[in-house]
């Protein structure tokens, strides 16, 4: 596995690089040699954030993209926490791959349902965008997107449907099932 470690608001020392490399070695054993791992070490300079040392790990594999992020008061502890999360994701991914074909996961909206739950924004004078994320979207089917959603542990996942070439959203419903949002064009 190829590894890149970079820092934001901090210098990546040889000791930090070696520590991240050693910790991710456990994860690398479960992945192919052509996997690529990027570790971003971030220090937040906000005095109201006590756990201001953040480790964000992204691994590109032949299959899904795996991501883990965690924060602590110490950078080494943040790397430990994020690596532990990533290791659990890799194990889940490998288990799912080994059981692939054993059962089919149905992904669809309930009849009459048209949209995902909307997150509420706290009432303030003016809402602002505080973070922007960019990511590469490779085409995949709904089952692959569901696997990605479960691996990253988020409430929703945006992907390009390989059948329609449209952007779709898969999301976890309150009842434990999943919903799929597919765009339609009024013509």
Helices 14-28 and 75-98, axial angle in degrees (round to 10): 20
Determine the Cα–Cα distance for residues 140 and 136; give it in Å rounded to an integer.
12
From the CB of residue 42, how many other CB atoms can be counted at a distance below 10 Å? Answer: 18
Determine the Cα–Cα distance for residues 20 and 100; give it in Å rounded to an integer.
31
Q: Where are the domains of the chain?
A: 2-98, 105-187
pLDDT of residue 133: 80
pLDDT of residue 33: 79
CATH number at 105-187: 3.30.505.50
Q: What CATH architecture is 2-98?
A: 2-Layer Sandwich (3.30)
pLDDT of residue 34: 83
Determine the Cα–Cα distance for residues 146 and 105; give it in Å rounded to an integer.
9
pLDDT tens track, the chain, 187 positions: 889 999 998 999 999 999 999 999 888 888 877 888 999 999 988 888 888 999 999 998 887 888 999 999 999 999 999 999 999 888 887 777 776 544 444 444 444 544 444 443 343 445 677 778 887 888 999 999 998 888 887 889 999 999 999 999 999 888 888 999 998 877 5
The candidate with the shortest Cα–Cα distance to 2, out of 55, 41, 38, 42, is 38
pLDDT of residue 117: 44
H helices of 29-157, where? 75-98, 142-152
Please compute Rg for the chain using Cα positions: 19
């Amino acid at each position: 596995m190829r590894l890149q470690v970079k820092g934001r608001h901090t210098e990546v020392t040889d000791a930090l690089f070696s520590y991240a490399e050693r910790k991710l070695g456990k994860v690398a054993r479960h992945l192919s040699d052509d996997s690529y791992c990027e570790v971003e070490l971030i220090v937040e300079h906000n005095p109201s954030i006590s756990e201001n040392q953040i480790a964000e790990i992204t691994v590109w594999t032949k299959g899904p993209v795996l991501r883990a992020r965690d924060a602590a008061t110490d950078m080494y502890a943040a790397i430990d926490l994020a690596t532990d999360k990533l290791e659990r994701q890799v194990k889940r991914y490998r288990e799912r791959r080994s059981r692939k074909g054993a059962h089919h996961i149905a992904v669809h909206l309930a009849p009459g349902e048209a949209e995902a739950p909307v997150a509420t924004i706290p009432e303030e004078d003016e809402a602002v965008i505080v973070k922007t994320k960019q990511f590469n979207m490779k085409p995949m089917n709904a089952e692959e997107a569901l696997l990605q959603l479960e691996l990253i542990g988020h409430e929703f996942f945006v992907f390009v449907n390989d059948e329609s070439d449209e952007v779709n959203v898969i999301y976890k419903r309150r009842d434990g099932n999943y919903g799929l949002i597919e765009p339609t064009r009024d013509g």
